[in-house]
Amino acid sequence: MPITQPLVKALGQTERAKVCLVTTGGTISSVYDPQTEVLRPGMSVQTLLESLPKGMGNVEVVQRELFQLDSANAQPHHWQEIADAIKDVNEEMPDLDGIVVTHGTDTMVYSAAAISFMIQNLGKPIVFTGSQIPATIPWSDGPRNLLDSIRVAAFGDIGETCIVFNGEVHRATRAKKLRANSYDAFDSMDPTPLGILARDIVLFEGRKIRHESEPIFDTRLDDLVWLLKVFPGLPPGILLRIAELGYHGIVIEGFGSGNLPTQENALTEAIQSVVRKGCSVVISSQCAFGQADLSVYEVSRAAADVGAISAYDMTSEAALVKLAWVLGHTSEADEVEEMMAKDYVGEVSFSGAVGFGGT
């Protein structure tokens, strides 16, 4: 992929920058509890900053401690709280160059994707980061990730929400956590990362750059959305039960390019039934790379014929968050399908998707 000229700016230059650090817990701020002998979030934002090399050059870091949460406990309302906090600090300090959010890695892609939809056109970086090892441990990846994130927030020519981790910059809606323990926890699921961090910040084409604009803050959500992974032997009645429980949307992770069983344990009739009841069904792929194409195989076209919507090349995590956000705006089937196909924040690159950034 072609790259732009490296942005030759780094900490310690004469230019001043102002970044807000919003902390939400996660491994990066975890401490060891000798009574329970486990790690739990508990490190203050000030202690977290003290783990960094002394001297931040001309970067002023404003601190906001939002909550101390293991990200396994994160819920959709926490996404809204993070969005509200970012909105507040942006209005309080319009001179901010960027915002960093520390977060647990387990559900970081969900939260970061949610912020992408809830805060559009901010025109400056919103950077999510965390670590695999607590920042107080000498070999932790936390200090490096935090320093890299502050660097990108202060000087990176990026105008969207991203994840900075292990020297890479990933679009929030295209990232996936693939490794449980490795420092290299995240990858971008086509296209490649937005950039890399070396001596300079090297950014690739295709990203949204910094710009002056009127930001859109829209935290409406319908969190009654279910993510279901298809497996051989899955009983179709599960879909009916999900709808009976009151869920308004289901993302189904199909095989390959969105294929579903159509013979024994066929899902098509169940999909048709829940769609008729007003429950939106979106088909994504279980594959990390590739896309759900419901036009290729008979076993996927059958789902489209009864009202299922393709997630195209969205990750299942992004599709789930997007469907919750879309259903927060409309429950009309035609409008849901149209909004799911539209590219708002680079979450989908399918050739049929409309625009980037809501255009």
The residues assigned a catalytic role are: 27
In degrees and rounded to multiples of 5, residue 204 shows phi and psi of -95, 160
Side chain identity at 172, as an amino acid letter? A
Distance CA 251, CA 231 (A): 14
What residue has token string 């509890």? Answer: 33
Structure-block tokens of residue 277: 């009841």
Q: What is residue 342's three-state secondary structure?
A: strand
3 state SS of 93: coil
Q: Please report, for residues 41, 65, 324, the alpha-carbon distance to residue 133 in angstroms, rounded to integers and kept in the order given.
A: 12, 20, 31
Tell me the two tokens of residue 341: 């196909």
- Residues in CB range of 288: below 8 A, 6 or more apart: 176, 178, 187, 189
Give the total residue count for the chain.
Answer: 359
Sign of CA dihedral 325, 330, 333, 338: negative
Name the 3-class secondary structure at 28: helix
> Are 313 and 287 spatial neighbours (Cβ–Cβ below 8 Å)?
no
Of residues 246, 245, 251, the one with CA closest to residue 113: 251
Surface-to-core class of residue 180, CB atoms within 10 Å of its CB (0-12 exposed, 13-18 middle, 19+ buried): exposed
Q: DSSP 3-state assignment of 99?
A: strand
Strands (E), the chain: 17-25, 30-33, 38-41, 59-69, 98-102, 119-120, 126-129, 161-165, 168-171, 175-177, 186-188, 195-197, 201-203, 216-217, 225-229, 249-254, 280-285, 309-310
